[in-house]
Structures are given as structure tokens and as C-alpha cells.
């Protein structure tokens, strides 16, 4: 909510959210990587800028529908639809909505860099390296939110950095790396045998040009090659952008003067995200390519599934903001690393080496244990303040009279006690009737009942 802190989730919702986040993290990474290396549809590969734009449009459609439903529930049935739209518009563009332009632009940049990273890295390597956003979130939380970082968490962040560094060590030998780098440079075929090898290497080629650049572009489209340096830089940029956007979005929610529905916040994020996705990505960067081929070039059901999963993850991210959900996201990320690594071995012929296993283990430990201070205090329990016994001993040994004891100048009158409040009273399990004396019961002179 706007100015209110997000409440701590219950056990049932916590388990369900952990499963949903794990499924979303794993599915998104696997789908994006496969969509970037699969055989292109119609000889052309889809543009990542258009995928980011459609992702934001889908998020806007879903968030706008739910936000409009929330507004209609609080309005009388006779209110026309135009009034509902007017109320929603005023809620979206009033107050501090302009502040969400910063995290919206950062989220758009992070989404674009994720596509670039997964086009040049294995899915498992990206999933482990992307946990650097935990370090970024912790540092910006310290700077922007004044959140403390205990010494234990500093040590875990160093373990995470060391683990990410270990998995970047290349798996191949120097000779294999030099041959792979040489293969990145395409030589123009000068004989019939070379032309045949080019045709066999790229069976899905669609001839567009007889020039050197045209043939090389066709071959790289049909059989894309991974570039680890580009993928690592894109992963670092996505981690910084995503971590900063999450902390800034939390700051906006915390500093908001009035509570605002998270669905309205999602509408604001989607609206401000569409502008950079459309004008910078689609129009400025890929405008010429889209004008020549079309905006839906290279699209198939896998690409649309990727956009759908990414939109779901973007909406869910706003509901898991704050320290109360930090441990849930960390456990989901650690589980997703394991699942992504196992799926990459079977789907993408990924071969983990010893340094990858050691680095991944360090990242798993750091990710799982890097919980928020509030969650750690809840797990350990809050210790009550210590009781100082000597204070009570001094009071009991002092010469001052107790507040309950009468002073010598006061007159004490002792009233007769009722039988049921007397210490000599005897309780019985049999009920008595008012005004009827039980047989065998007599009253003694001392006022006691037997």
C-alpha cells in the first residue's frame, strides 16, 4: 500500500508465493534463452525491443482492468463508466505518481538488458550471476532507506561476489578459446566446397544479400554464438538497474502521503515504462528494421509465452516489495538456480565444471541466508529486557512503608467478609438454589459454612 508497510505474509500465502516466484524465475530464464537460440521463424529473429514493449502493454492491460474493478466496487451501481474512468485517471495521475517514472525507466532498461544477457550467456550462468542484484539492493537500501547491514550480511555478500566470480572462469582450454574466437569472424567463401559448407551450416538461411555483411548476418541469425563478455556486462547492468528500481519503488511507497492500491501503482509503472520502451527501443534503435520487415517478424508461440511470463513477473514484483518478503524472494531465487542448472544440462547441453559448482554453491548459501533483519529477528524471537532483581531487593529492605500498608495515622476498619470470599470457604460441585437451605448444612458461630 501507499504509506503503509506491507504486512508480513501468513504461512499458507508464504509457501504459495515461494512456489509461484520460483516457477516464474525459472520459466522466464529458460524461455528467453531458448527463444534467442532456437531456429528463427521465417528466417528472422524477433527484436527484443518489441518484446519489451509488448510486455509493458500487457502489464498495463491487466493492471488497468483490476484497478478499474477495484474502483467500481467502492462506487454505487448507478455510476456510469465514464465517471469510473475519470476517478481512476485522477488516482493514477495525482499525488506522487511522477516519482514512479524513475523506477519504471530502470525496470525497462533491466528487461532489455536481460534479453541481451540471455542471448550471450547460458541460462544457468545468467541465473547465478543475476543474484548480484542482492548486493545492489543492499547497498542502495543502505544509501536511500538508511537500512543497516549487519556484519554477517557483509560476509555473505562477499561470498556471493566470490561465487559469481568463480563461475565466470571459462570452461574451455586456451586452444579451444582461440579457435572459438576465430570462428566468430566469418570468411567469405571462395570455392564451391566452402559454399556447400555454408549452406549445410545454415539450413534455415534465407538469402537476402550476396555481400559479406549479408551472408554473415544470415549465418549468425541461424546459428547464434554466445559472447560471454557481452553477456556478463549486460547481466551487471541488469542487476544494477533492477536493484536500484526495487529500492526506489519501496522508497516511494514508504514516503507516500496517502495509501494507494498496488494495482494503481502497477498502472503507473506500466504507463511510464511504455514511453522509453516505445520511443527509445522500438522507434529510435530498431525503427528502420521494423519499417522494412514488420513489428511481428520472428514471433511464434514461444516468444509470446516469454512475454506473458515476463509480464506476470513484473506485476508480482510490486507485491513482493519490502523487508517482509525478502526471505521469500531469496529462497525462490536459490531454488530457481538449482532448477535452472538442472534444466540447462538437459535442454541446452550445459556442462558445469568444478569452478561453476563451487561458485554456485557459494551463491546458493549467500542467497538463502541473506534475509532481511526483520525476518531474522522474527525467526529468532525478540528477547525481553533483562530484569534487575537488586532494585526490588532494595525496595523490600528499605524503611519506607509499602503503599498497600496503612500509615500509623490512618484508621483501619475491617468489614465482615462474605462466606464465598472467605479463606475458610469450601467449594462444592453441586449447585444450590437461592433461598433454599441444603439439608445437613448448619451455620457455626464463627460464621463458617460446613
Residues in the chain: 450
What one-character DSSP code corresponds to residue 416? P
What one-character DSSP code corresponds to residue 38? S
Sign of CA dihedral 139, 245, 102, 14: negative
C-alpha–C-alpha distance, residues 12 and 99, integer Å: 34
Place of cell 451455620: 443
Q: State residue 221's pLDDT score.
A: 59
Cα–Cα–Cα angle for 48, 111, 278, rounded to 5 degrees: 60
pTM of structure: 0.72
Beta bridge partners of 443: 449
C-alpha–C-alpha distance, residues 356 and 371, integer Å: 24
With beta carbons less than 8 A apart as the criterion, state whether 222 and 204 touch: yes
Q: Report the Cα–Cα distance between both ends of the chain, in Å, rounded.
A: 66
Q: Tens-of-pLDDT digits for all 450 residues of the chain?
A: 444 444 444 555 566 778 888 999 999 999 999 999 988 877 788 999 999 999 999 999 999 999 888 888 877 777 787 888 888 888 888 878 888 999 999 999 999 999 999 999 999 999 999 999 999 999 999 999 888 889 999 999 999 999 999 998 875 545 444 444 444 444 445 555 554 554 555 444 454 555 545 555 555 555 678 898 999 999 999 999 999 999 999 898 888 877 788 888 889 999 999 999 999 999 999 999 999 888 998 899 999 999 999 999 888 877 776 666 677 788 888 899 999 999 999 889 888 989 999 999 999 999 888 765 444 444 444 444 455 555 445 444 545 554 454 544 444 444 444 444 444 444 444 455 455 554 444 444 444 433
With beta carbons less than 8 A apart as the criterion, state whether 366 and 157 touch: yes
With beta carbons less than 8 A apart as the criterion, state whether 238 and 38 touch: no
Place of cell 545468467: 126
With beta carbons less than 8 A apart as the criterion, state whether 275 and 17 touch: no
Cα–Cα–Cα angle for 17, 18, 22, rounded to 5 degrees: 115
Backbone angles phi, psi at 446, to 5 degrees: -80, -5
With beta carbons less than 8 A apart as the criterion, state whether 361 and 341 touch: no
> Among residues 252, 263, 257, which one has the least CA distance to residue 92?
263
What one-character DSSP code corresponds to residue 421? G
Grid cell listed for 314:
513484473
C-alpha–C-alpha distance, residues 198 and 204, integer Å: 11
C-alpha–C-alpha distance, residues 197 and 390, integer Å: 92
Sign of CA dihedral 52, 58, 62, 64: positive
Place of cell 508480513: 8
Write the DSSP assignment of 273-324 as a string of letters: HHHIIIIIIIIIITHHHHHHH-TTTT--HHHHHHHHHHHHHHHHHHHT-SGG
3-state secondary structure of 6: coil
With beta carbons less than 8 A apart as the criterion, state whether 49 and 282 touch: yes
Task: Please count the other Cβ atoms lying within 10 Å of the Cβ belonging to residue 366.
Answer: 25
Grid cell listed for 228:
560471454
Q: State residue 73's pLDDT score.
A: 82
Neighbouring residues of 222: CB distance < 8 A, sequence distance ≥ 6: 39, 40, 43, 201, 202, 203, 204, 205
Q: Where are the beta strands (DSSP E) in 12-112?
A: none
Radius of gyration for the alpha carbons in the chain, expressed in angstroms and rounded? 34
* 419-423 contact pairs (CB < 8 A, 24+): 419/447, 419/448, 419/449, 422/447, 422/448
C-alpha–C-alpha distance, residues 338 and 350, integer Å: 13
Amino acid at each position: 500500500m501507499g504509506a503503509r508497510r506491507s504486512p508480513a505474509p501468513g504461512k499458507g500465502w508464504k509457501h504459495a508465493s515461494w512456489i509461484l516466484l520460483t516457477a516464474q524465475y525459472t520459466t522466464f530464464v529458460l524461455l528467453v534463452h531458448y527463444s534467442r537460440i532456437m531456429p528463427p521463424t521465417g528466417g528472422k529473429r524477433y527484436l527484443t525491443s518489441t518484446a519489451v514493449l509488448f510486455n509493458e502493454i500487457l502489464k498495463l492491460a491487466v493492471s488497468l482492468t483490476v484497478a478499474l474493478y477495484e474502483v467500481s466496487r467502492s462506487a454505487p451501481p448507478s455510476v456510469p463508466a465514464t465517471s469510473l474512468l475519470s476517478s481512476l485517471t485522477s488516482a493514477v495521475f495525482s499525488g506522487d505518481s511522477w516519482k514512479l517514472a524513475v523506477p519504471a525507466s530502470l525496470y525497462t532498461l533491466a528487461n532489455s538488458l536481460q534479453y541481451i544477457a540471455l542471448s550471450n550467456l547460458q541460462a544457468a550462468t545468467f541465473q547465478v550471476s543475476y543474484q548480484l542484484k542482492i548486493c545492489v539492493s543492499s547497498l542502495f537500501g543502505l544509501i536511500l532507506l538508511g537500512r543497516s547491514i549487519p556484519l554477517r550480511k557483509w560476509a555473505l555478500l562477499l561470498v556471493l561476489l566470490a561465487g559469481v566470480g568463480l563461475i565466470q572462469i571459462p570452461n574451455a582450454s586456451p586452444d579451444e578459446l582461440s579457435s572459438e574466437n576465430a570462428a566468430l569472424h566469418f570468411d567469405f567463401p571462395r570455392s564451391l566446397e566452402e559454399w556447400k559448407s555454408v549452406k549445410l551450416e545454415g539450413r534455415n538461411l534465407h538469402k537476402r544479400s550476396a555481400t559479406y555483411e549479408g551472408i554473415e548476418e544470415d549465418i549468425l541469425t541461424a546459428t547464434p554464438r554466445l559472447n560471454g563478455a557481452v553477456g556478463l556486462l549486460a547481466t551487471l547492468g541488469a542487476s544494477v538497474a533492477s536493484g536500484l528500481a526495487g529500492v526506489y519503488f519501496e522508497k516511494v511507497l514508504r514516503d507516500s502521503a496517502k495509501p494507494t492500491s498496488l494495482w494503481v501503482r502497477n498502472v503507473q509503472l506500466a504507463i511510464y515504462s511504455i514511453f522509453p520502451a516505445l520511443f527509445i527501443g522500438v522507434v529510435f534503435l530498431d525503427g528502420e528494421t521494423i519499417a522494412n520487415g514488420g513489428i511481428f517478424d520472428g514471433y511464434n508461440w514461444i516468444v509470446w509465452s516469454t512475454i506473458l511470463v515476463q509480464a506476470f513477473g513484473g506485476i508480482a514484483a510490486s507485491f513482493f516489495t519490502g523487508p517482509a518478503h525478502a526471505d521469500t524472494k531469496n529462497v525462490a531465487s536459490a531454488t530457481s538456480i538449482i532448477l535452472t542448472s538442472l534444466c540447462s544440462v538437459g535442454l541446452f547441453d550445459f556442462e558445469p565444471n568444478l569452478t561453476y559448482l563451487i561458485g554456485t554453491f557459494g551463491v546458493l548459501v549467500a542467497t538463502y541466508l541473506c534475509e532481511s533483519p526483520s525476518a531474522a529477528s522474527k525467526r529468532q524471537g525478540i528477547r525481553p529486557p533483562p530484569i534487575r532483581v537488586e532494585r526490588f531487593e532494595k525496595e523490600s529492605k528499605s524503611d519506607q512503608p509499602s503503599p498497600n500498608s496503612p500509615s500509623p495515622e490512618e484508621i483501619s476498619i475491617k468489614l465482615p467478609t462474605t462466606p464465598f470470599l472467605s479463606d475458610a470457604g469450601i467449594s462444592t460441585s453441586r449447585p444450590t438454589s437461592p433461598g433454599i437451605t441444603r439439608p445437613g448444612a448448619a451455620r457455626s458461630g464463627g460464621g463458617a459454612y460446613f
